[in-house]
Each structure stands twice: as structure tokens, then as C-alpha cells.
Amino acid sequence: MLENKDIVSRETLIKIKKGFYMEYNAGRYDVIVIGAGHAGCEAALAAARLGVKTCIFTINADSIANMPCNPSIGGTSKGHLVREIDALGGEMGKNIDKTFIQSKMLNTSKGPAVFSLRAQADRKKYHIEMKHTLESQENLDVKQAEVTEYIVENNEIKGIKTHTGAVFEAKAVILCSGTYLRGKIHIGEVNYESGPDGIFPARYLTESLNKIGITTRRFKTGTPARVNRRSLDFSKMEIQNGDEDIVPFSFENKELKIDQKPCYLTYTNENTHKIIRDNLHRSPLFSGVIEGTGPRYCPSIEDKVVRFADKERHQIFIEPMGEDTEEMYVQGMSSSLPEDVQIAMYRTIAGMENVEFTRPAYAIEYDCIDSTTLKLTLESKQIKGMFFAGQVNGSSGYEEAAAQGLIAGINAVHMIKGKEPLILDRSDAYIGVLIDDLVTKGTNEPYRMMTSRAEYRLLLRQDNSDYRLTPLGYKIGLISNERYAKFLKKYENINKEINRVKRTNIKPSKEVNEILRNAGTSEISTGVKLAELIKRTELNYDMLASIDSERGNLTKEEAEEVNIEIKYEGYINLQMEQINEFKKMEQKKIPANIDYKSIKGIRIEACQKLDKLRPESIGQASRISGVSPADINVLLIYLSTMEKGKQ
């Protein structure tokens, strides 16, 4: 019957033979999200919660919010992203608070700018909770299907097609494909098409992207083996417990109490390194089989042994995958070496002499786009209504993906409704730094967020993410009235207490000077403001509670804010001055239709870069590689002349 030319065209028959089916109109949505990883979940939830009809597609519904690599959320700088996501009204912080099995605040021996929360997740429960959240969300449909094609007319997105022939119309489409685009697994000499964890890859969408003018490139990442807990000897390892006082990721949660699971620390040794060096010729990473560029800041174990040949050992963390499984994750041992080599090198490590694998380590290659082809809204400069978020933009990490997904979801809705886009700049949030780096500077390797990338990190702390972003989340419509009222009350208490502390005078007394002596700081002989005592290196707000009779009745969270704002007041004020100068440059907008080739005095390289990237402001232009301060001065003069001409 299908051979009848009156019923089926030859082109359709070819599609059927390739594994497709006859096309049919399956429905219409405002926003379609492709991919249900961490970026896709945030994008879909944000769009649906903002009141538009949304659909999220996943190749396998059992892989929604999967953690194919490390089963954890947060970490250095990544914890900042999660708290910012929560402050704007996203879901990741809430979901990890429901499903964590160990929590730890990192970098507490350093300043508050680099404090960062990290939680070990129950991997399966994290997936189950997020899947149920998606399924329960009003305005959101969840569908299992492989999206194979974009429908674009006159450089504007119109919808998508799936492998079963379903055609869905849409006003905006957000691609959150993670590592699935033409995914390819490498384990030594063995390689095969696959997404993470044996899920089918997205086989056809890259071709569709290329057809509409979106160029792609290959990146790679990797993951360690999973091993059976019963085959490990923890007596030879160092136990790593979580914090007694658990700090939630979500500002909506005040207190969390669970029986935490321990992690363990062990090390590689010279025997491990020798096995790796002896088998480098079997590594696809070094033999040239892997074409994609890997992450600089999360290298495989063989890469670490080669690059840091002088190091006698490397840290290896053994982390549980969940409460109801015996699988353990071997952090620090990602590899693409053959499985027999992996087993041999793992068994040289203390406590792992009899280790048994449940899943071997592997590297995965995948397609991604050039992120400099995007606007700061994460919409394509080429195709209206086409957004990208997560690893498809060249980033790495669950947290980086979720942050982009949230922003893409919000901006897709704003585009549809004709509202002003949400653009966070580098002084607003780590999310702003992340997106600006990707869009303005681009990346030649999987991009990882780090505290060192943020110029204003003393103001962009993880503890004050709500202060910076919750009013914005409320204005957008992702923060409830109840939550916003609690937020306002919190900062009313904090500001009132800061003003009181600055006014309060502490007189010298035996009790006061004894406290000062015991803290290792100098005594006082005349009255001094309480704020000045708090600013001393050896002291803090809580330490002086016994001599502060009028101390406010604050929560622990509020007291921490008071301490930080007073203690670092001078540095904070200095950084505010720097931000004011930065804002001036960001506010100098560049006309979208500017002809850079007509501007005399700009160097050829700068002209080419500016013409290609089309920055939106002078500030953004100044961060483009190859554009010098002299080029910026010429551009400023040109824009000033244009403005005078208009007047």
C-alpha cells in the first residue's frame, strides 16, 4: 500500500525506509524545548510558569534530569549559579534540597566571596523528583520522541518534526541537546554511536541545523567508571563527612535534617601512572581517534598523568550514587582507555585492589554550536525564535546548563509576548558572567564556570543571590507574592540591624577587654563603634554577642549577612565604584545596523571581529578578543559624532 504513488511521495518513502514515518500535524505550542536535561528542565518550567503553552521533548523519559557524570550539584562557583537560579525562581536548588545525601560548604577557610555549596545527590531520586515536577506543571506537556528537523521560514522558526513524522508548530524553540547531538562513545579501541548511559543519540538534528545555516563543531567530555561498593575497602581510605549544619540551596528552605552518607578519599600512585603511560597508545584521546576538544579544567586521568608528570599522586574521591544502590562514583578517574586497562589501573589504588566495575569509564564526543552566533538573550542572531542553552553552547556542567536554560526559557516567552528581554550583565550575577563569556568571547573547549572569571565576586556572593536577583524574579513572574514578602522582611531586618550596629558604641570594660584578649586582638581604652570591632580580622558579629545587649533577634542567615556587609564594607564600596564605571560602558549601546567597515581608524582585525559578533554595547565590544582599547576609543568617537549629527 505504501508503494502507491497517489498516497505517498517518493521523498516520504525514503524517509520511511530511513526509520521515519508519514508526517502529520500533531499540534501547536508557544514554546518547544528539545532535550530534558538540566537546561531543558529549567527552560520548560520557566516558560510554562510564565503562562505560555509549552512542550518538552526527550529521547527517553527515563533520562529526564539525568546525571550521567558526577551525581552532585554545586561546587566552587557552581554553587553560586544554583543559588542564583533559585533566586530567580528556577527549580534546581529546590530539587537538590529534596534529594541530597551529603551537603558541604566549600572554601570556608577563605573569604565569603568564594564560599560555595556542594551537595551529593541521590541520582535516581533527583531524576524522579524533577520528572514529576515537569509532569505536574500546568501549561507543560512532556513527550518522548527524537526531534529530527527544524521548520524554518524566512529566517524565523515555525516548528519541529520528530522521528515518527509528527509536526509541531511553535513560536519559539529552545535546543538543550546536551551531549546527544551525534553522540559517540569511546572506550579504548571501541567506539559506537550513543548518548550518555547507553541512551540513543540525536542522529539527525545536526544535519537540520547545518541546512539552516547553523554551523556545528565537535567537543568531548568524559566520565569515570562506576564500581560496586562491596568490592571496596574503605578502611584504606579517608572518610569525608558532610557538614553538621546543612545550608539549603533554595532560599525557600530554612532547615534541612537528614542522615548523610559519607564519601571517601584515596590517591593514585606511581603504579597507576605507569599503567597509564604504558597504554597511552591505546587511548583514543592520544591516538587521534577522538577529534573533539575536551575540557581543560576537568581532564581525564591519562591527560592529568601526561600534563602533570611531576605529580606523584592525584586525589580520587569515592562517592555514593544514591541510598538504594551499591554503585559508587570514582571522581577524578575519567578515562577513555580500554576497559582492561581501566580495571588494571583502578586496582593499583589503595582500597580498590579488588574493585569490580558496574559501568566502565568512557569519553563521549558530541556536536555543539559556536556560541558567539547568539545574542545575550541566547537567541540565534540568524533565526528568529531559535534559542540554545546548555552544552550545545559549548559549556560543561549541570549548573551552567540549568542557568542558561532558565534565561533562554524566560527570553523565549518575553520574545513571544513582546516584552523587554532579560539580560544579566557581569555585575549582576555569575549567570551574567557565564553567558557574556560564551556569547562575547566564545570558547574553544568545554567552558566551565570559575570564581576567577567573575570580576566583582565580592558582590556576587552565593549568600546574597536573593538580594541581587529575587526582585527581578518577582518582576518577571517566577517568584510568588508570599516568597517576595518574606524576602522583603528578611532584608528589612538585615538593614535595620546594620544601621543599629553602626550606631552602637562599646565602652571599655573588664568583660569587653577579656573577650578581645581571648580573640587575640588589642584591647580598647576608649569607646568604639561596634561596627569597627566587627571589622577586625580576629572578630565577627557573633563573637561580640555577649557584649551587645541590644542585638537584634536575627536568623542565622540574617546574622551572616550583617557580619559580611559590615566586615567587608570598604571592599564592597570600592567594588561598587568599579561597577558604576562598568555600567556606563554597558549602557553605551551600539546601533544594530552600524557599518564597521565605514569607520576609519579601526584596525582590520577589530573591524572583522566587530562585524561578525555585532556587540550590543561598548562594554561588550571591549571584551571581544582582538579589539583593543584604541579601537574602542575610535568607536566611541564615531558614535559620539553620529549622535551629534542626529541632534
Give the CATH number, domain containing residue 317: 2.40.30.260
For the chain, which residues score pLDDT lower than 50? Answer: 1-10, 13-14
Sorted by sequence, the CB contacts under 8 Å of residue 501 that are 6+ apart come out as 530, 531, 534, 541, 562, 566
The reply to whether 537 and 567 lie within a common domain is yes
With a pLDDT cut of 70, the percent of the chain lying above it is: 96
- Which residue in 34, 37, 15 sits closest to 24, CA to CA? 15
All three cell numbers of 76, joined, read 566552587
**295 in any annotated domain:** yes
Residues 276 and 355 grouped into a single domain:
yes
Q: Does some domain include residue 634?
A: yes
CA distances from 37 to 11, 51, 176 (A): 33, 22, 7
Same structural domain for residues 250 and 360? yes
Closest listed residue to residue 121, CA positions, set 403, 319, 265: 319
Whether residues 550 and 615 share a domain: the answer is no
In angstroms, the Cα distances linking 642 to 21, 561, 599, 600 are 56, 46, 11, 14
The pLDDT score that the predictor gives to residue 14 is 46
Buried b / exposed e along 515-539 (16+ C-beta atoms within 10 A): bbeebeeeebeeeeebbebbebeeb
Residue 608 sits in a domain whose CATH number is 1.10.150.570
Does one domain contain both 559 and 603? Answer: no
Q: Are residues 499 and 607 in the same domain?
A: no
Pair (543, 623) in one structural domain: no
Q: Is residue 266 part of a domain?
A: yes
- Supply the pLDDT for residue 519: 93
Quote the CA–CA distance of 55 and 300 in Å, as a whole number: 36
Task: Note the pLDDT of residue 292.
Answer: 73
**CA of 308: how far to CAs of 314, 330, 362, 411, 541, in Å?**
10, 20, 21, 43, 43
Question: Helix H segments across 221-280?
Answer: 270-278
Report the mean per-residue pLDDT for the chain: 93
In angstroms, the CA 268 to CA 263 distance is: 17
Q: Which of 449, 388, 620 lies closest to 85, judged by CA?
A: 449
Instruction: Tell me whether residue 570 is in a domain.
Output: yes
CATH number at residue 509: 1.10.10.1800
Let me know whether 565 and 613 are in one domain.
Answer: no
In a domain, 441, yes or no: no
At which of 317, 348, 364 does a domain end? 364
Q: Residue 254: what pLDDT?
A: 87
Task: Label the pairing between strands 147-153 and 505-506.
Answer: unpaired
Task: Look up the domain containing 611 and give its range.
Answer: 588-646
Same domain, 515 and 568: yes
Residue 472 within a domain: no
Residues 500 and 607 in one domain: no
**Last residue of some domain: 549, 574, 599?**
574
Q: How many CB atoms lie within 10 A of CB 57?
A: 25
Burial zone of 194 (CB within 10 Å; 0-12 exposed, 13-18 middle, 19+ buried): middle
What pLDDT, on the 0 to 100 scale, is given for residue 15? 54
Residue 11 burial (10 A CB sphere; 0-12, 13-18, 19+): exposed
Query: Which domain-ending residue is among 313, 347, 364?
Result: 364
Residue 303 included in any domain: yes
Question: How far apart (Å, rounded) are the C-alpha atoms in residues 545 and 525?
Answer: 20
Q: What is the pLDDT of residues 222-270, one digit of tens each?
A: 999 999 999 999 999 999 999 999 999 999 998 899 999 999 999 999 9
Widest pairwise Cα distance in the chain: 102
Q: How far is CA 607 from the centre of its chain?
A: 32
How high is the pLDDT of residue 19?
53
Enclosing H/E stretch for 512: helix 510-518
Do 552 and 601 lie in one domain? The reply is no
Strands 362-369 and 216-223: antiparallel
Buried b (16+ CB within 10 A) or exposed e, 354-381: ebebeebbbbbbbbbbbbbbbbbbbbbe
**339 shares a domain with 268:** yes
- What is the identity of the amino acid at 375? K
pLDDT in tens, 578-614: 999 898 889 999 998 899 999 988 999 999 999 989 9
Half-sphere exposure of 598 (CA within 13 A, CB side): 6
pLDDT of 2? 36
pLDDT digits (tens, 9 = 90+) for 540-590: 999 999 999 899 899 999 999 999 999 999 999 999 999 998 988 899 999
Cα-based distances in Å from 199 to 59, 216, 475: 8, 22, 39
Within a domain: 9: no
Q: Which of 321, 387, 316 is nearest to 173 (CA)?
A: 387
Distance CA 287, CA 222 (A): 16
Query: Cell digits for 237?
Result: 581510605
Amino acid letter, residue 349:
I
Look at the chain and report how many structural domains it folds into: 3
